[in-house]
Structure formats: structure tokens, C-alpha cells
Chain A
Amino acid sequence: MSPEPRRLRRESDGAMIAGVCAGLGHYLNIDRNLVRIAVIVLTLLTSGLAAIAYGFAWIVLPADARTPEAPADRPAARRGSWLVGAGAGLIVLGLLFVLRAAGVWWSDALVWPLVLASTGGALLWRQFTGPGRPGRNSRWRASRGGSANYRVAFGLALVLGAGLLFLYINGALDAAGTVALGALTVIVVLGLVLAPLWARLLRNLGEERAARIRSQERAEVAAHLHDSVLQTLALMQRHSDNPREVSTLARRQERELRDWLSGKSEAEREASLADMLEATAAEVEEDHGVPIEAVTVGDRQLDDHGRAVAGAAREAMVNAARHAGEGGPVRMFAEISPQRVQVFVRDRGPGFEIGEVPEDRRGVRDSILGRMKRNGGRAEVRSMPGEGTEIELTMETR
């Protein structure tokens, strides 16, 4: 359940008329009733212009894909097309009255052609642009059967009829300029008929591209699983008599898969101190076959201080893996803040009295201590027989 990118859509769920306000409210993340009130107030203030905008939004906005107006598996003519067509016609009629009342007017001859053309155009638009959903090419072809076809034909007839009517009225009034007017009318009619088709084509293209990206992603996942997971599973079957080997393989595969799922790029991982420490723990685990549980809190850009701490932490983990691998997992805990980096490496090995440090362990301790000191930090070793050992690395930065 991934969070869907918010899109401006009509919301059929909780719609009062067509869900335009609800959709707008959802998109802007405000209460839908506030949007409704705003639209009503605007309608009153603009003598109806806002209502026309509403109708336009109704036609243009795609419906909420979650509740399609017609079930996808039963392709049918879109419901409410007649209403929308008639509504568009009435809206245009209303708009013309408003313009006329406002004094912007050319000729009464415009009225009927325009109303008819808008009704037909709206019908066509409704038929060609349904709620956007993947794989709907087939649906569109299927939906042309029966009633849908009839509506398309009727819409076309209305638009063409409007064009003819316009020509006829103007031709009767004025014979001059008929050719230019005719050409213009043809262009307008074609535009009305073709615009919905074009809009539909654009949307289908977008959907096809999304589908292609999805299938590419799928192929990539399959390739990755094949290269890594299946190979590891095969290896594990061949080593089934060696539990240690199997567990090492499983952990390595788990880590790889987690890295891959995290979606971070190589560069991003290299720039982070927390990721560097976790990667170091993973490497030591792989080299020595001892599980290392790494926990990090906070993060910051990897710098020389950070590299020094990571280097010392590696020594500490190698040391723990070598001497205390049998006592259970080694734990690495790192707390990173802008002022300070602190790393704890704890094992559950036999432990020892600080006074009686074996030579080889002292050597490692000195190398850790030395490295931290050179870089302005400090290291501390705590150990008790029977309680394991903990090495603490601290680096203060300004």
C-alpha cells in the first residue's frame, strides 16, 4: 500500500453533484464543504461564471479511479453523458445570456449553433475520455458498441449540424466572405470533434508509458532475484552439510537484499558514516564467519574523523570475532551526533583481567588505541572474566 501521489480528480465518493469540490478539497487538503461554499459564493459574485467553470471541471477532470463510474469488466457507455451534454448546452446558453446582458454581443444568430455545438462537443468528450485506468485501450474499443456508438454519432451530428446552421444563418445575412467563414467553421467543427480524441490519445500515451516503466521494473526485480537470491539458494543446498557456511551465505544474501531494497545508491551509502560502519560490520562478519549485529543511531557525512573511527571499529570487531566468536553474536552500537561519534563493540567471549592481558590482545588494543589517539579520539577496553569484553571508541568533533 504505497502512498499514491495526490492528483486532482473528481471524487465520486462523497460527491454532491459530480465530486468536483470533493476532489478539489482532497487535493488542497481542506474541507470539501469549505470548497463548496466558496464555489457558491463565487457563483453569486460572478453572475454564474463559476458555475460554468464547475461544468468545465466536471467534463475535463478524470473521475476517481477507485470508484469508476462503470465497472471495468463490463464496458459500457458512460452513464450521465446525455445529462452532461444537455448541461453543457445550457451552460453555454447561460454564458451567452450573461455576455448579452453585459453588452458584449455580436449577433443573435450565434446562439443556436453555439449551444448545439457545445452539447455535441460535450457528448463526444464524455464518450472519449473516461476515468483513467491502465489497460483501457481494449475497453474503449469495446465501449463503442451499442449505446456508446449511438451517442458518438449523435454528438457528431450535433456539432456538424451546428456548423451548417451557422453557415446557413450567416450566408442568408451576408453573402460576402462566405469562403473564409466556411473554412473557419470547418476548423472549429473539426477542432470540437478531434479535441477529445486528441486528449484521449495523450492520456493513453501517459498510461502506456507508466505500464512500460512498471514492466521494466519487474524485469529488473526478476533479474536481481535470479542473479543473487537463486544463486545463493543453490549454493546453500550444496553446502547443506555445513551449517556455518549456510548461515554465512544466508546472512550475506540477506544483507545484499536489504541494501538493494533500501534503494540507496552506492554514492549515497559511501557518503554516510552510519552506512560505512554497517558495511564494515558486514565485511568483518563475512571474513570471519561470526554474526555481528550492528545498530546505529543518527548519521552524518563521512569525513576523516569518521573514517578513523570506522577503521578502529573494524579492528575492534575483528578482534572480537577472532577471540570471542563462540560466545554468540558480536554487537556493534554506534551513536552519531554532530559533536560526537561513539562506537561500542561488545562480545560475549571469555573476557579477561585487564592486568593479565595476553600479548596478542594487547597488540590489537594498542593499535585501536593508537589509531584513535592519532585522530584526536580515545578508546577504552572493559573486560571481566566470564562477562565478555567491550571496546568503547569516542571521537569528539567541533
Chain B
Amino acid sequence: MSPTTVVIVDDHAIFRAGVKSELEKGVKVVGEASNVHEAILMIGKKQPDVVLLDVHMPDGGGVEVIRQVAELDSDPPRFLALSVSDAPEDVVQIVRAGARGYVTKTISGPDLIEAIKRVGQGDAVFSPKLAGFVLDAFADSPGTEAGDPELDLLTPREQEVLRLIARGYLYKEIARRLGISVKTVEAHVSAVLRKLQLSTRHELSRWAAERDLVDWD
């Protein structure tokens, strides 16, 4: 199997250089971009498997890149969001836009390579932080607005998986502990991701609204 191809999008040149040298050990970096416009062009030209995407950039940041690429490309690459911020609203923004995972910039090189490969295969990547946030957002009762309860609640099994991720368990450790296969763990995580993207829960909607993601008119 040929190595996963990656485009790095980040407005900090020093950070791009550092990540690139770390990634060369496991994946193939085919391009870099420092702003939204460059990113759109580079992604269109190189057609990478995975885009490593900074959340915070001028002109709309990572969310804008995902949105515009989705408009232009019927088969867009997969996005892995990367940020210095753990703020829940940043996470909800980028994951709802369509990112397959979210990791913070303090992640180690090998872990980042692992995450990129995972996203490249179509799986979701949940850091312990992201798992904790999702549990928080889906806690308590379902949303009060008329929503789809299927999407507004996590199943007990999904909660269990998320808790173990938050506790620092790897997928294979979760699988062993729960007596299920790694594939099943991945399926649960993907289901959670889908709910996060489609749910109408008021907590998620509120965060989106505060960030001007919802058009009032």
C-alpha cells in the first residue's frame, strides 16, 4: 500500500516545518498552504488523502476550507483538525463542518502519524479531550427543541467507549476490555461523530449560533 498523502494547512511557517519533518517518517507530505485560499488551490491540485488543518486562520479558518472544498470537490479528502485550543466551541465548529477528528498541537509525532493514517482509512480520531467534550455536550437529557432523539442521545455503549477513550485507552485496549472487535469500536466512534454532526441538541446548536455559524436571516 502506498503511503498516505498529506497536505498541511497552517498559517505558522515554523509549525508547518516542524510537523513536516516529524511526519516524513510515516506519511508523505505532498503540499503545504498558509491560508484558506492557498489551501483550496493546493488541495485541488494535489488531491491528498488527508488534509491536516489548522482551526485558527484568518478568513474563516479551517471551517471555511472544509466548506469550500466540499463545494468544489465531489470526493473531498478527509480532514484532521489540529489546534492549540481545546475550547469546546472550536471542536464543535470544526467537527460539525466535517472534520474526521480533532487533535491538539501538543500531540507527539508518532501519535499524529497514527491519527493521520486512521483518518486516511476513513475512521474517526477522538483524542481524550474530544471524547470528554462530546460526553459533556451529550450529557443529561436530550435537547428540548424538536429533534431526533436517535441523534440527540448517545447509546450506553457509545458512552462507554467514549469514557474509555477519555481515560486514555487505545482502541485495541477498549476492544479487549469490552470484549468486542476493534472494528466495532471504530463503528461506535464513527456513529458518535455522525451524531455530533447531525444532532440538533441545543448545546451544540447554541455553540454554533454563538460562533455565527447559523444564519439568522
Query: Which residues does A use to contact B, with CB under 8 Å?
Result: 1, 3, 29, 254, 293, 295-298, 331, 333, 335, 337, 344, 346, 348, 387, 390
A-B contact count (CB 8 A): 41
Residues of chain B in range 148-168 having any CB-CB distance to chain A below 8 Å: 163, 166-168
Which residues of B sit under 8 angstroms from A254, Cβ to Cβ? Answer: 106
- Closest-CB distance, B31 to chain A (whole angstroms): 28
Is B136 touching A298 in the complex (CB atoms < 8 A)?
A: yes
Contacts A297-B135, A298-B136, A331-B128 given: A346-B168 contact, CB under 8 Å? yes
Contact B167 A297 (CB under 8 A): no
**B75 → A minimal CB distance (Å):** 31
Given A331-B128, A333-B132, A335-B135, do A295 and B166 touch, yes or no (CB 8 Å)? Answer: yes
CB of B139 within 8 A of CB of A333, answer no
CA distance A47 to B131 in the complex (A): 63
Chain A residue at smallest Cβ distance from B212: A1
Give chain A nearest CB distance to B9 CB in angstroms. Answer: 20
Chain B positions 179-217 with a Cβ under 8 Å from a chain A Cβ: 210-212, 216
**Looking at chain A's contact residues, is the secondary structure mostly helix, strand, loop, or mixed?**
strand
B20 interface residue (CB < 8 Å to A): no
Closest Cβ–Cβ distance, residue A258 to chain B (whole Å): 8
A333 to B168, CA, bound (A): 8
Chain A proximity of B98: nearest CB distance (Å): 20
Give chain B residues whose Cβ lies under 8 Å from the Cβ of A337: 139
Bound form: Cα–Cα A337–B135 in Å: 12
**Residues of chain A lying within 8 A (CB to CB) of residue B131:** 295
A324 to B211, CA, bound (A): 41
Within 8 A of A (CB), among B102-125: 106
**Interface check B100, CB cutoff 8 A:** no
Report the separation of the CA atoms of residues A265 and B60 in the bound assembly, to the nearest whole angstrom.
30
Name 19 interchain pairs, CB-CB below 8 A, sorted by A. A29-B216, A254-B106, A293-B168, A295-B128, A295-B129, A295-B132, A296-B132, A297-B136, A331-B167, A331-B168, A333-B128, A333-B168, A335-B135, A335-B163, A344-B167, A346-B167, A346-B168, A346-B169, A348-B168
Measured CA separation A3–B216 after assembly (Å): 13
- Give Cα A24 to B166, complex, Å: 47
Question: Smallest Cβ distance from A66 to chain B, in angstroms?
Answer: 14
Q: Which residue of A lies closest to B111 (CB)?
A: A328
**Complex interface: chain B residues within 8 A of A293 (CB):** 128-129, 168
Residues on the A chain within 8 Å of B212, using CB: 1, 3
Closest to B210 in A: A3
A336 nearest CB across to chain B (Å) = 10
- B173: nearest chain-A partner, CB-CB: A387
Give min CB distance, A343 to chain B, whole Å: 10
Most chain B beta-carbon neighbours within 10 Å: one of A29, A331, A348: A331
Q: B166, A333: Cβ atoms under 8 Å?
A: yes
Q: Which of A3, A295, A296, A335 has the most CB of B within 10 A?
A: A295
- Chain A nearest CB from B130 CB (Å) reads 9
Measured in the bound complex, the distance between the Cα atoms of B168 and A387 in whole Å is 12
A337 to B140, CA, bound (A): 9
Beyond A331-B167, A333-B167, 10 additional contacts (C-beta under 8 Å) are A293-B168, A295-B132, A297-B139, A331-B128, A331-B168, A333-B128, A333-B166, A335-B135, A346-B168, A346-B169
Give chain B nearest CB distance to A18 CB in angstroms.
Answer: 19
User: How far is A296 from B129 in the complex, measured between Cα atoms in Å?
Assistant: 8
User: Interface readout for B46-85 with A: 1 if CB under 8 Å, 0 if not?
Assistant: 0000000000000000000000000000000000000000
Cβ-defined contact, B139 with A298, below 8 A? yes
Q: Which residue of B lies closest to A295 (CB)?
A: B132
Considering the complex of A and B, which 7 residue pairs feature the smallest CB-CB distances, nearest first? Answer: A331-B168, A295-B132, A333-B167, A344-B167, A333-B166, A297-B135, A346-B168
A390 touching B167, Cβ below 8 Å: yes
**CA A30 – CA B210 in complex, angstroms?**
18
Whether A333 contacts B163 in the complex (CB less than 8 A), given A293-B128, A295-B129, comes out as yes
**Minimal beta-carbon separation of A337 from chain B (angstroms):** 8
Neighbouring A residues of B139 by C-beta, 8 Å: 297-298, 337
Residues on the A chain within 8 Å of B169, using CB: 346
Query: Please, which residues of chain B bring their CB within 8 A of the CB of A3?
Result: 210, 212
| B97 smallest CB distance to A (angstroms) | 16
Give bound CA distance, A127 to B139, whole Å.
Answer: 56
User: Which residue of chain B lies nearest to A25 when distances are taken between CB atoms in the complex?
Assistant: B217
A297, B128: Cβ atoms closer than 8 Å: no
**A268 smallest CB distance to B (angstroms):** 17
Expressed in whole angstroms, the minimum distance between the Cβ of B82 and any Cβ of chain A is 16
User: For residue A31, which residue of chain B has the nearest CB?
Assistant: B217
What is the bound-complex CA distance between A31 and B146, given in angstroms? 22
Instruction: Write out the residue numbers on chain A whose beta carbons fall within 8 Å of the beta carbon of B166.
Output: 295, 297, 333
